[in-house]
Amino acid sequence: MAKTILNLKNLTIKFGGVTALNSVNLELKEGEILALIGPNGAGKTTVFNLITGVYKPTSGNVFLGDVAIDGKKRHHITKLGIARTFQNIRLFGDMTTLENVITGTDVRNKVGLIGSILGTPRSRREEKASIAKAHEILKFIGIDEYADRLAKNLPYGVQRRLEIARALGTEPKILLLDEPAAGFNPQEKVELAAIIKKIRDAGYTILLIEHDMSLIMGISDRVVVLDFGQKIADDLPSVVQNDPQVIAAYLGVPEDAS
């Protein structure tokens, strides 16, 4: 049985008098694709923000393996092996596609600022290795032909892929994808599904938020459902999609329902 790589234990966060998450427990197994779904405002992105150190929980813990990471700085969490993409694209628009991915690889470099400025032999070796690695990732994601294009001039779908490529540049154990199919047409969604499976097959563990149910049901090993900050389901996709509580959360309960 696959081991648990990420574990959220009784995770709660309150903003003023509002409880955004209430004692949420979630386990992510090594090598799986786990989808986190729920209606708007259910707390999905809040979970990502707690995992990556944007927020600190009011109570509960986030464990990466046996290490509690809640409260750690964002860059420390990245170095420990968690990378993410965002609902709204956050690329460096005036950098090239290649340079954007290189910024991800910088997380693993050993040479500091002074060494880079002085152009030491070690810094030159690291720079050469980062460029080679960035090209390799772009080829893996299927966008190496855009390596020299400015990110702001890329087609929307390529920008989405570039965000994933940059995250992979950090050498994550876990990749968090926040609505990666947002704005995609049907063909782009098919291609994205293939890419996500390819990433998992390459040895990564994936946690994603997505609203497209056909995509979720096609690629996920397991689905967790949130509603009003509480977990209401955690099971196989085929089970979750027929769960009456999940259906009610998405569609609402008829007024005459008993």
Residue 10 has pLDDT above 80, yes or no: yes
pLDDT of residue 113: 45
Query: Cα-flanking dihedrals φ and ψ of residue 101, to 5°?
Result: -70, -35
**Lowest mean pLDDT: which of 93-107, 114-128, 176-190?**
114-128
**Cα angle for residues 13, 55, 251 (degrees, 5° grid):** 55
User: Residue 124 corresponds to which tokens in the numbers above?
Assistant: 């030159």
27-53 mean pLDDT: 95
pLDDT of residue 107: 79
pLDDT of residue 149: 97
Sketch out the chain's domains with CATH numbers.
4-81+172-251 (3.40.50.300), 93-156 (no CATH)
| Residue range 225-239, pLDDT digits in tens | 999 999 999 999 999
Determine the Cα–Cα distance for residues 253 and 72; give it in Å rounded to an integer.
Answer: 40
Q: Is 200 left (phi over 0), alpha (psi -120 to 50) or beta?
A: alpha
pLDDT of residue 17: 87
Q: What residues contact residue 157 under an 8 Å CB cut-off, 6+ apart? A: 184, 188
pLDDT of residue 122: 67
Q: Please answer whether residues 47 and 226 qualify as being in contact, where contact means their C-beta atoms are separated by less than 8 angstroms.
A: yes
Between 133 and 253, the higher pLDDT residue: 133
- 128 pLDDT band (50/70/90 cuts)? confident
Residue 258 has pLDDT above 80, yes or no: no
Residue 151 has pLDDT above 90, yes or no: yes
Q: Please answer whether residues 176 and 85 qualify as being in contact, where contact means their C-beta atoms are separated by less than 8 angstroms.
A: yes
Q: What percent of the chain clears pLDDT 90, i.e. is strictly above it? A: 79
- 257 pLDDT band (50/70/90 cuts)? very low
- 83 pLDDT band (50/70/90 cuts)? very high
Determine the Cα–Cα distance for residues 31 and 151; give it in Å rounded to an integer.
Answer: 30
Between 150 and 247, the higher pLDDT residue: 150
Between 256 and 171, the higher pLDDT residue: 171
- Residue whose tokens read 């170095």: 79
3-class secondary structure, 151? helix
pLDDT of residue 114: 45
- 88 pLDDT band (50/70/90 cuts)? confident
- 191 pLDDT band (50/70/90 cuts)? very high
